[in-house]
Structure 1
Amino acid sequence: MATLLHIDSSVFPGEASASRSVAAVFRRTWEEQHPDGTVLYRDLAATPVPHITAEGYSSRDSGAFATRLELIEELESADALLIGAPMYNYAIPSTLKAWLDNVILLGRTSGETPSSKGKPATVIASRGGSYAPGTPREGFEFVRNYLEAVLGGSLGLELDFIVPELTMAPRNPAMAQLIPLYEASRERALEEAVVKAKRLLDGRAS
């Protein structure tokens, strides 16, 4: 029986959030493909995990470390991950960073033999503008690059990205001319969510 770990971190609810909207389509498709599967869900905006502390790092008998173990065990029990990672001020939300700080444990989830190495992780990396190669703000892209290093490099996950962009266009008059590009990006992201979710067989990439 397959298990999906679904993490949302957008501060905006439901359809007001591009990352939540696309992740919801991915999850719904995954559940259709795995009717007997299990979804472990964490909404980091509604219920933030504690920021890492010295106690959580150094004392394995502490309550802070017990919280880390709970999060780590969720990661290790999942066959696949779905992570909503909107760009806020050029980076990921602090709540998602807190989750990452908790689950990265050298000698267990990271190091020479990461315990979740090879698991597929789909990241919904939404952003208000465009930071694609060749755009004026290409150099300010610190979400995908960072997550490739941490999720891929440290945790050893097999990453796939879906990138809905220009999400501020409908709300920012200065970006009005970009609305058609935003709409095309949104449709493409929703289509990719369906396709990529269907490609996961028993939780792992087919």
Structure 2
Amino acid sequence: MATLLHIDSSVFPAEASASRAVTAAFRSHWQEQHPDGTVVHRDLAARPVPHITADAHTAGFADPATHTPGQAAAFAERARLIEELEQADAVLIGAPMYNFTIPSTLKAWLDNVILFGRTAGETPSAKGTPVTVIASRGGSYAPGTPRESYEYVQNYLTAVLADTLGLELDFIVPELTMAPHNPAMAELVPLFEASRARAFEEAAAQAKRLAA
């Protein structure tokens, strides 16, 4: 039975979030292909995971038999998150761009699941697991655009998810999501609409491709 690990990090509810709309579509198509599958959903806005503490960090490099009570408690939470990643057959992440990078809640989740000697290092424990990131953003940071150099979502997540954790990474990028709400961007609304439609098409295609 297949398992999808679904991570959302937008601070907005589904009806107001570009990333949540596309992750929901992806999940729906995935479930159509896996009617008996399991979805583990973590909404990091509704239930943030703990930020890394000294206890949580040092416990990852120490013999469990030597853990203090504080280290043991902190590492137990990390272990749950790591096991969810390791047990997933596919991972879906909603990663909207906030102030040029990912939400802090998503960074906290990543800090918890990156553990050298286990999920990272020479033999990452989740290596090869497909991960699809819905990287929505209010403007455009694509190659050749004026703000290309401010794109710190895809390049950061590539370094972490692909290069460090060894996951098989794909991006879906709904962009210009502020165009319908910002009069200064009114002329970009058709480009936004095309980007949104393309994102839903790619989500459907990717979910079905993973099932195959």
Please give the range of the TM-score, normalised by the shorter of the 2 chains.
over 0.9
- C-alpha displacement at 1:113, in angstroms? 0.2
- Structure 1 residue 25 corresponds to structure 2 residue 25: yes
Q: What value does the CA root-mean-square deviation take over the aligned residues?
A: 0.7
TM-score of the two chains, using structure 2 as the length reference = 0.94
- C-alpha displacement at 1:142, in angstroms? 0.3
Identical-pair percentage: 75
- Structure 1 residue 163 corresponds to structure 2 residue 163: no
TM-score of the two chains, using structure 1 as the length reference = 0.97
Identify the residue that residue 58 of structure 1 maps to in structure 2.
Answer: 58
Identify the residue that residue 4 of structure 1 maps to in structure 2.
Answer: 4
- Structure 1 residue 35 corresponds to structure 2 residue 56: no
Structure 1 or 2, whichever has the larger Rg, is 2
SS in 2 for 1:195: helix
Moved more, 58-67 or 81-90: 58-67
SS in 2 for 1:29: helix
Residue 185 (structure 2) aligned to one of 175, 197, 205: 175
1:1-206 equivalences in 2 (<5 Å): 1-59=1-59, 60=64, 61=67, 62-201=72-211, 206=212
- C-alpha displacement at 1:15, in angstroms? 2.1
Aligned pair count?
202
2:89 maps to amino acid? D
Separation (CA, whole Å) in 2 of partners of 1:56 and 1:198: 38
> Structure 1, unaligned stretches of length 5 or more?
none
SS in 2 for 1:188: helix
Separation (CA, whole Å) in 1 of partners of 2:43 and 2:112: 15
1:182 maps to amino acid? F
- 1:21-53 CA-partner distances (Å, limit 9, x unpaired): 000000000000000100000000000000001
- C-alpha displacement at 1:58, in angstroms? 1.1
SS in 2 for 1:40: strand
